Structure 1
Amino acid sequence: MIKEGAHTYIDGHGTVVPYTGKYAVQVENPFDLIRAGWEAVKLPAGPYRPLRVEFELTDRCNDTCKSCGMGAKSVADGVTLSDVQLARLIGEFADVGLPSVAITGGEPFVSSRQLYRFMELARGTVDIGKITTNGIWGSEKGCQRVFERLVHAGLLNNRIFVPLLMVSIGEQTTPLDRIARIIRYVSTEFTDRELTIAVSSLADPSDRNHRIYELLALYEQMYGDFPHDRVHSTMRVYLENERLDHQAPINRPGETTVTRWMGACYDCFAPTVGTYVLPCALMKVNGDLYSCAAFNVPEKLGFGNLFEESFRSILGRINSSAYVGKVRAGHGLKGVSDIVPPAVTDKMTCGSFCGSCKLLIDRFEHTTGQAEPGGRRRTFIPLPPLPAREG
């Protein structure tokens, strides 16, 4: 399998090779095309201009993972974005020249009508860069039908990015034969220039066991050699989600100093494709927008709501954040070290990059006396879609 990190391209640092990396691009000059899109809509310059928004189409899910990173709800209790809300998002994304979106949940295919509806609306406006799924639809009867519907809705009509299908096999109860069938279909019916596929094998941090090895063995029993040259691998451990009230406790062995997390942090605001697509924002199903797409992103990086105000105004708020500015200028969390020095961070411990970011924001605010403009809960007030831009 293709390990994550094999192909990383940062704007201004070397040549971009099309069709390589988990988040592959179709062109040699993606950053030029992205900047041209921003210029066409007159988007103001700033340290933060996202290349992607990862958004929850729904928070409904047909599974019950005890450590769900997205805080998904049951099919009965969750909600899905309406046609009006989807149209508004398309207008907002077009207004800021957003290059791509990643669709997640919940489980997007639980709300397949809305999934296909959004894809059809997005065609020619914003690339469908990624769809994340538990693969429950990969049955003998459903697999081909779903792929045909995805293609009909515009999956292969991107302008910059090769679309990615991300299948998660952590605590999900989807039978692995369905995952194997999806992989088989992609590897035999699509080229790597049409569709990329990845398997996200999240593990409990207490034992770090990954189901990927079980999947490999099953695939070879069903179809023969596994297509290692087509499938990208993401192997990580579950993290706590502070927005999930009933999150199962995470037993992460040991603690790491915030200083070490800062030193290992990559520049998540530098324009990047290949291994990741950065910067990448996260929008929850209620419209709250976060300047980082990590599933357990600190609440104080939530800067507005896309159903209450314009994307432009939210971007303005993010770009006025002293903390975001420091991180961007310092090429990662280490950029905050002049405000929160090692003498302090050496004594602070946590279990993740996100945990260290949360601690650093609190300490940054305490030291500077400057509170972040984000992090507050908002009332959900749906607004009508924006009018289409002229020209």
Structure 2
Amino acid sequence: MRLHRNLCFAVIDGLHLIFNEGEYADKVVQQLLKRDKRWGSRDRGFVAETVYQIVRYKRLYAEIADVKEPFDRDNLWRIFAVWATLKGISLPDWKYFTATPTRKIKGRFDELSKTRKLRESIPDWMDELGLKELGENQWTKEIAKQNEQADVILRVNTLKTTKKDLQLKLESEDIETEFLPNHPSALKLKERANVFKTEAFKNGWFEVQDASSQLVADFLDVKPGMKVVDVCAGAGGKTLHLASLMENKGQIIAMDIYESKLKKLKVRARRNGVHNIELKAIENSKPIKKLHGKADRLLIDAPCSGLGVLRRNPDAKWKLQPEFIDNIKKTQSEVLDQYSKMVKNGGKMVYATCSILPSENEKQVEAFLKTETGSDFKLVKDKKILAHKSGFDGFYMALLEKN
């Protein structure tokens, strides 16, 4: 592979924004890909994948390059040189690469890779927490898997098409997909592609949604005609899935504390042909109290650490702090206590997170069932998904029924 100067400069600029300015990697990559209209798919792929790979392995590459944060541009070029050397890419005769110790880099990599927290490039506290909650064997496998690039998974919008017809439509646009066993609405791309430019996407035939995330709406056991509340709806991936499972019949109340996210859901719902969703911003406790005892089904896709989706958000490793996880656990228990009151007698709710930590998942459910509010519920079933076992995002979901 030959390195091109303008592409490498884009990578360095992106890393500066992510590491030094605290910007989100996905947003930065989106900006970078609009930088030069002459770039082809290979150029764009190089920029995106290189940025993500260096973000994933920031700690390891910085240790090998012997540089410390905040990284100036010379430091970022040294980190880039480490990445290129380990990929077997010949470094061009540019001033940024003079005196790059190629042999030393490979030796340092072999030496540092013997230690998990350096090999998988994670903060000390995260390694200690994962070890404590999952044990040596599970944590070692899971964090290794979380450093791999995630597959692109689509969820067919059954309000508009079938899985087979979507597959054929994408094939006509040179995108090949395959079915996934035990995931009734999922198609997996055989090769990465920009699916958002397809006719099928513009017509609302699918959404991009990981296979594990797709299981949550199915877990809630919804039926057409029900009153369903999605209380942490965000931009609405699971809300839209619920609408398709309900065949656009009944009512879905999509709620969130961020009105900006609900506005995105409104746009997506229009494209998906969904018209049984009512949007409500949670500005105070009134909208919650109004729904006490009214919901046939309730989805609590709770705020969490996101440690099950590091493959998609590698910069989260560097933004997360241990205090955040302590605080989010308190939020989870408050959300369970307050929002569960919306479920009617005989109704059901799902508590879900994209975390792999038992303290955010099964232990939260156990604690809830021992509270005064939780004593009205029983656990029907739960499911824990680890990336190293499933190949998809780490997730947890628990189905509870109100007596």
Q: TM-score, normalised on structure 2?
A: 0.24
Structure of greater relative contact order (alpha carbons < 8 Å, 6+ residues apart): 1
Structure number with the higher helix fraction is 2
Larger Rg: 2
TM score, norm. by length of structure 1: 0.25
